[in-house]
Amino acid sequence: MSRMKMIWVMIFISVVLICCREKYFADYEMPASGFLVVNGFINGGGEPTEIRLSRSNKLTETPAEVMETGATVLIESDADDRYPLIETSPGVYSYGALDVNPSRKYRLFIKARGKEYISEFSGKLSTPDIDSVSWKQNNNGVQFYIHSHDESNNTRYYQWKFEETWEINSPFLSALEYNYDSNNKLIGVKYKFDNRMADTTMQRCWAKNSSQVLIVGSTEKLSNDVIYLPLYFVGAESEKMSVAYSILTKQYALSQRAYNFILTMKKNTEQLGSVFDPQPSQLTGNIKCITNPSEVVIGFVEVVEQKTKRIFINRRQLNNWNYTNTCQTTVIDNKPDSIAKYAGGGLVPSVVYSEDMITGEIIAFNAAPGPCVDCKLRGATNVKPEFWPQQF
């Protein structure tokens, strides 16, 4: 067996063991307000820091992320420097690129609901570069892999996150819109533009998603600090790769304590669904409540350097990616009664089906469900991402 295959086998076995599930019965009482959950890290790699604060639920409650709003969040150094974070959305607190002094240590200070919390001081952890992100297509879909290494053999513990972006094209063009009289009564359809061209702002969009599971790996039992692991899988015929797709992978070095904490979190979330679901085992990290030292706080905050790698896949690179949508058109007479009868279920006008050759009056038109005509109605935006290749 080759050296690389041996490394792969050992890491794969460790991942399988990590994923084993055991039933756990909690033997503690959760406060009515839930435990404070601190998710994020102090970014020491020149990128913004983002901290998410939420409250965990009781085991008997419906799983949901309850964001902690109105908190005061600061980054503090051991030289008494303070950097306030701004709440950019409910429960999400951000600070721009932090100029981390490698000789200093940093921690997080939080004040929420009249209580104060602090993390332990942490020095900056250097993260090795991502060597590559590769992919391989099989009958079931596309599997992504992460490749990395640390020549100094000092990292050993890793975490990865990713952001995926994919292009969506509406299957039907939109050149028409409903026409209303001065009393806002529907009287038919009309062309959107005098030149009768289609509305291109509804045709091409981009959707995005972020990793929802905890992805970690370790080389602690290997002689060399080399990573080659499966990262993410996209199922066959998914819309995500029907046009073009991109994945941005983020890599972080972890301390052994942080790694062990995340493994426990991973075990719980695989049992219950997500990071923000109620936790069945007591997760204590490096954050404590200084107002009430007996209060449990869930989270582990360190100063971590982020490294990234983005790749793109065009559908033309794939073999027989047979994505098909379920969109269908309906032919509707351009009369108020016909429109009311057939278009009441959310159908929107698409293009002309027939028109009077002399007067140009629209006689009938094609209509389809809104998301089949307007890609923005599919949770996407028609603003092209800055990183999207021109040739796509």
pLDDT of 326 higher than 70: yes
Three-class SS of residue 302? coil
Local confidence band at 165 (pLDDT 50, 70, 90 cut-offs): very high
pLDDT for residue 10: 43
**286, 371: one domain:** no
pLDDT for residue 56: 80
- How many structural domains does the chain have? 2
- The average pLDDT across 72-92 equals 97
Residue-wise pLDDT tens digits, 88-109:
999 999 999 999 999 999 999 9
Q: What is the pTM of this model?
A: 0.83
Question: What is the separation, in whole angstroms, between the first and last Cα of the chain?
Answer: 41
Decide if 152 is inside a domain: no
**190, 331: one domain:** yes
**303, 366: one domain:** no
More confident residue, 223 or 20: 223
Residue-wise pLDDT tens digits, 220-243:
999 999 999 999 999 998 999 999
**48, 185: one domain:** no
**Residue-number span of the structural domain to which 330 is assigned:** 170-204+326-378
What is d(CA 157, CA 139) in angstroms, rounded to the nearest whole number? 32
Are 165 and 207 in contact by the 8 Å Cβ rule? The answer is: yes
**13, 118: one domain:** yes
pLDDT for residue 274: 53
Distances (CA, A) of 198 to 281, 293, 354, 360: 56, 63, 16, 17
- Looking at every residue in the chain, the average pLDDT score rounds to 88
| % of the chain beyond a pLDDT of 70 | 85
If we measure between CA atoms, which residue out of 169, 41, 137, 150 comes closest to residue 93? 41
What is d(CA 72, CA 109) in angstroms, rounded to the nearest whole number? 8
Residue-wise pLDDT tens digits, 289-298:
999 999 989 9
Three-class SS of residue 90? coil
More confident residue, 299 or 11: 299
**177, 59: one domain:** no
Decide if 116 is inside a domain: yes
**299, 182: one domain:** no
Local confidence band at 21 (pLDDT 50, 70, 90 cut-offs): very low
